[in-house]
Structure 1
Amino acid sequence: MSGKDQADALVEQVVAAHDRHSPLSIVGSGSKAFYGHATPGETLSVTGHTGIVNHEPTELVLTARAGTPLAEIEAALAEQGQQLPFEPPHFSGLGTLGGAIAAGLAGPARPYAGSVRDMVLGLRLINGQGELMRFGGEVMKNVAGYDVARLNVGALGTLGVITEVSLKVLPAPASTATLALEIPASECHPRTEAWLRSGRPVSAVAHDGERLYLRLSGTTSAVADAVSDIGGEPLPESTARAFWQSLRDQTHPFFDPSAEPLWRLSLPPGADLTPFGTPSLIEWAGQQLWVRERADAHAIREAATAAGGSATLFRGELPNVSVFHPLDAVKMRLHQSLKAAFDPRGILNAGRLYPMLEAA
């Protein structure tokens, strides 16, 4: 079946569901099925809608269909010495491009290379009435005005069925090195700021409770100079690659799914991490904090709010606790208005973000 035929089949399914007022649960590979609230209704699968539509290496732009595996995209980019700079998680290894955009999750490089949203140039999607729409384009100058394409990043399919995405890609670094340093967790942010101010090519910073891990990526000379100046224990390339991948895909022992519920805290640079206790794992030099805690969800969210951030119940369930940080009344009305504009009958991934979020 051609890409157009696949898209037409998806449109037909959405139109039928709209006419019946019947909910649809959008599914790709299922690698992020744990993320967000469960959704009711008939399955709408995009797994057959695959393929790289266009890749212009000299323009640093790639367009692919939503069901295309991330591994396929990354392999094609690697052949041209390029990469997805935001390092999207693969989780079970089956992650797709549409899922990466819908979830909006990024890996260790996010603070230094850009977010998922930063790299989206345009997309095609099917709204809740079965209309196939296009937003943005394949060049940066097309991304202007009210950026609907990027609005769908992190919306978890509640505004539309993403069918195709155009992304900005970047050259892969010529050299990469990882250092392990005996530095306390409280020093993550100030040390990182000092390295960045001195021009060091920082591409990832994490702390596992015992040591700080620093990844450097750039020209061979810049990385070598930084390694010599900073010191610490250089990790073998294979060990370093496995470590950062274990954080990206949550295969690191800290993320053991049989352990306590997992909280993801998004915090501003330099936030005080002491109110969140342990056990915890620090990424993004302190801007992303992973915490294992069952006792008091309200206290965790109050502390996150006081710090200027938010707390997501990333994995696991707690009685009467929503997955995502509660919205105030104004933000909820904005969400409801957007939902009504894109999906007036509320059939797409109903309740995936907030169970109380319905079409206005």
Structure 2
Amino acid sequence: MGDNVQRIEQFREQVLAAASSGRALRIRGGGTKDWYGQASDGDILDTCGFSGIVDYEPTELVITARCGTPLAEIEAALAERNQMLAFEPPHFGAGATIGGVVASGLSGPRRASSGALRDFVLGAVLMDGKGEVLTFGGQVMKNVAGYDVSRLLAGSMGTLGLMLQHSIKVLPRALRETTLRFETDEIDALRRLNEWAGLPLPISASCWHGGVLTLRLSGAQAAVVAAARTLGGQAVDDGPAFWAALREQQHAFFDGDASLWRLSVPSATGAIILRGAQLIEWGGAQRWLRIDADAAMAHNIRRAVAAVGGHATLFRGGDKRLGVFQPLAPGVARIHQRLKAAFDPSQVFNPGRMY
């Protein structure tokens, strides 16, 4: 306990020193997502030494851990009690920490059925740009004081402060999982996915690429068996390995040097006609695009996606001068600026990492 108190004091000293000298701090845990977002400069504030599971009560379905706790450690503790992080966060490297998971806000294949990372964040402890430690939310869903702020931190890329601790809702693992494959083109795959979304089927993940639609069913044994019988398709044995590779972007689609765009659209959206190869997840709501794009092409991508009510992110590779994230509407940009000013008035934390 004493070491953790001392570490918090060291963080505070580093934050106050940076604020007084006008320097920036670059918050870094395992560094597995350093490439994500705009380039960020500044002195490194290393969180890896501030780790450990603070509290885990399986019957309450909540785990609380310090920001530098390895994601693998948390997943191992949950697996012992047959529980999981239902949003299936990607690691992108062995050093991934829970702080980086929350800061990046990324969710994996199960997101469409279980919810996004931000839906599972119950509480957080944050050190702001003045070195003050603030507590938001709680350890149970009914404790909603400050809950919106806790969720606001998810995906904030460390720009609002140093997230010291997180309380996250967990769920039981499914009793049975089965993976099915269907040979079908993109248009028919999207039609099927949207039809199935309206039926009581235990679909927990989907992926279409290269004429093949892959589906995961999760739930009680009777429900999974009945759904597999209804849907047909070909049962495959490599399901767990396939979904893990998709989550970590080790699927063959992600190979190569072309830049990777993430297109977020309403799931009922039809085929989006763009140059380059596409992979479709989340029942049609998440689409990955591999393409070499100049400024004009980036504008066309964002215009095409905005036309259907979505947004596009330059996820990996490419020229970040094009802007990694979809430009904000003026009103939304002002809200971002006010939040930044409230939590980090000296612009200490990860300046420019998002916009």
Secondary structure in 1 matching 2:322: coil
Q: Distance in 2 between matches of 1:165 and 1:141?
A: 16
* Greater displacement, 189-198 / 63-72: 189-198
Instruction: Tell me the residue number matched to 2:345.
Output: 344
Measure how far apart 1:286 and its partner are: 1.2
Q: Percent identity, please.
A: 48
Instruction: Tell me the residue number matched to 1:139.
Output: 140
Instruction: Tell me the residue number matched to 2:258.
Output: 260
- Residue 74 of structure 1 contacts residue 84 of structure 1 at CA under 8 Å; is this kept in 2? yes
Measure how far apart 1:320 and its partner are: 3.3
Measure how far apart 1:72 and its partner are: 0.7
Measure how far apart 1:2 and its partner are: 2.6
Measure how far apart 1:277 and its partner are: 4.1
Instruction: Tell me the residue number matched to 1:287.
Output: 285
Give the residue type in structure 2 aligned to 1:269: S
Instruction: Tell me the residue number matched to 1:242.
Output: 241
- Residues 42-65 of structure 1: CA distance to partner in whole angstroms, max 9, x if unpaired? 100101111110001000010001
Measure how far apart 1:146 and its partner are: 6.4
- Residue 51 of structure 2 contacts residue 66 of structure 2 at CA under 8 Å; is this kept in 1? yes
Q: Distance in 2 between matches of 1:198 and 1:147?
A: 31
Q: Structure 1 residues 242, 189: closer, same or farther in 2, change over 3 A?
A: same
- Residue 272 of structure 1 contacts residue 307 of structure 1 at CA under 8 Å; is this kept in 2? no
Instruction: Tell me the residue number matched to 1:47.
Output: 48
Instruction: Tell me the residue number matched to 1:129.
Output: 130
Secondary structure in 2 matching 1:264: strand
Instruction: Tell me the residue number matched to 2:83.
Output: 82
- Residues 205-239 of structure 1: CA distance to partner in whole angstroms, max 9, x if unpaired? 11012200000000011111111221111111xx1
Measure how far apart 1:319 and its partner are: 6.5
Give the residue type in structure 2 aligned to 1:19: S
- Residue 324 of structure 1 contacts residue 353 of structure 1 at CA under 8 Å; is this kept in 2? yes
- Runs (5+) with no aligned partner, structure 1: 355-360
Q: Structure 1 residues 166, 145: closer, same or farther in 2, change over 3 A?
A: closer
Measure how far apart 1:274 and its partner are: 2.6
- Residue 174 of structure 1 contacts residue 220 of structure 1 at CA under 8 Å; is this kept in 2? yes
Give the residue type in structure 2 aligned to 1:281: L
Q: Distance in 2 between matches of 1:273 and 1:5?
A: 54
Measure how far apart 1:94 and its partner are: 2.1
Measure how far apart 1:145 and its partner are: 5.8
Superposition CA RMSD, Å: 1.4
Measure how far apart 1:25 and its partner are: 0.5
Instruction: Tell me the residue number matched to 2:58.
Output: 57
* Greater displacement, 286-295 / 131-140: 286-295
Instruction: Tell me the residue number matched to 1:358.
Output: none
- Runs (5+) with no aligned partner, structure 2: none
- Residue 273 of structure 1 contacts residue 286 of structure 1 at CA under 8 Å; is this kept in 2? no
Secondary structure in 2 matching 1:2: helix
What is the aligned residue count?
Answer: 351
Measure how far apart 1:147 and its partner are: 1.2
**Structure 1 length as normaliser, TM-score?**
0.94
Secondary structure in 2 matching 1:55: strand
**Structure 2 length as normaliser, TM-score?**
0.96
Q: Structure 1 residues 264, 16: closer, same or farther in 2, change over 3 A?
A: same
Give the residue type in structure 2 aligned to 1:84: L
Q: Structure 1 residues 72, 145: closer, same or farther in 2, change over 3 A?
A: closer
